[in-house]
Amino acid sequence: MEQELPINNSNKKTGNILAYFNNNKKLLISLLSAFLILILSYFLFLEFQKKKRIEISNKFNKIIISYENKKNTTLIKKELIELVLSKDKTYAPLSLYFLIDNSLIKSKNKINELFDLLIENNSLDKEVKNLIIYKKALYNSEFVSENILITQLKPLINSKSIWKSHALYLLGEYFYYKKEKKKSKEFFEQIVNLENANLEIKNEAKKRILRDFSE
């Protein structure tokens, strides 16, 4: 009799499990269906994103070819702005740089508006966003006040970004051009003392200090 107890207990547990499944069949089927739909939606989203990026890549390349063939620059400008507005993490910044490098947009306000749009894009990698911040400051350095320029570069100056040394060098050049040598030297010295400074930028800063600030 004692030997039959484990079998009876096992049968009882199996019966309880079957009863649980029978009583909650609809709920379990709904949960399983929801899980499968979620997985399917995720893979469909990845496929959609992949196709979308290919389309954007093809569009960007066609625009560049059209520009090289001296086609309608008004249309080219419009299409490049559309790519910037797409917020694609690769081709949105490239499109803005192309617009600037080829002087397709004359309005400084419009350029800064597009820069801000990219900087506010949270899908961008941190250092890509830092590069855009630097490029915005570089673009504005010829016509903004020192307070505005420093404000624009502050996120880099107060960080450990790989673009920090570039930002400091830009400020060093900016104040040297304004004949404020004391301020200029301070920024070049910060680069020399920076642990993770770009090696080329650091060497150039050392040269500038020896050449332009030696007593």
CB 167 within 8 A of CB 182: no
- Closest by CA to 187, choosing from 207, 167, 203, is 167
Supply the pLDDT for residue 39.
Answer: 66
pLDDT score recorded for residue 1 = 46
Which residues fall within 8 angstroms of residue 12, CB to CB, at 6 or more apart?
A: none
Nearest residue to 177 (alpha-carbon basis) of 211, 146, 201: 146
Distance CA 104, CA 15 (A): 76
Q: Residue 99 pLDDT more than 80?
A: yes
* Mean pLDDT, range 60-85, rounded to an integer: 91
Per-residue pLDDT averaged across 4-17, rounded?
55
Pair of tokens at residue 6 = 């484990």
Q: What does residue 209 show for φ and ψ, rounded to 5 degrees?
A: -65, -45
Over the stretch 106-121, which tens digit does the pLDDT of each residue have? 999 999 999 999 999 8
What is the predicted pLDDT for the residue at 57?
87
For position 89, what pLDDT does the model report?
A: 87
Computed from CA positions of residues 52, 102, 150, 215, in that sequence, does the dihedral angle turn out positive or negative? positive
Question: Contact, 103 vs 73, CB < 8 A?
Answer: no
Q: Give the lowest-confidence range in 16-20, 85-89, 174-178, 201-205.
A: 16-20
What is the total residue count of the chain? 215
* pLDDT at site 123: 79
How many other CB atoms are found less than 10 A from the CB of residue 194? Answer: 16
Residue 100: predicted pLDDT: 95
pLDDT tens track for 126-184: 999 999 999 999 999 999 999 999 999 999 999 999 999 999 999 999 999 999 999 99
Are 76 and 66 within 8 A, CB to CB? yes
What global pTM score does this model have? 0.75
Q: What is the DSSP letter of 2?
A: G
In sequence order, which residues have a C-beta less than 8 Å from that of residue 119 and are 6 or more positions away? Answer: 129, 132, 133, 136
Nearest to 174 by CA among 162, 164, 183, 161: 183
- pLDDT at position 8 over 90: no
Mean pLDDT rounded to a whole number for the chain: 85
Q: Name which of 208, 174, 215, 163 is nearest 188 in CA terms.
A: 208
Would you tell me the crossing angle of helices 181-192 and 164-177 to the nearest 10 degrees? 160
Residue the block writes with tokens 């079957």: 18
- Calculate what percentage of the chain has a pLDDT beyond 70: 75
Task: For 36-53, write each residue's pLDDT tens digit.
Answer: 666 656 555 555 556 767
pLDDT score of 176: 94
Q: How confident is the model at residue 9 (pLDDT cuts 50, 70, 90)?
A: low
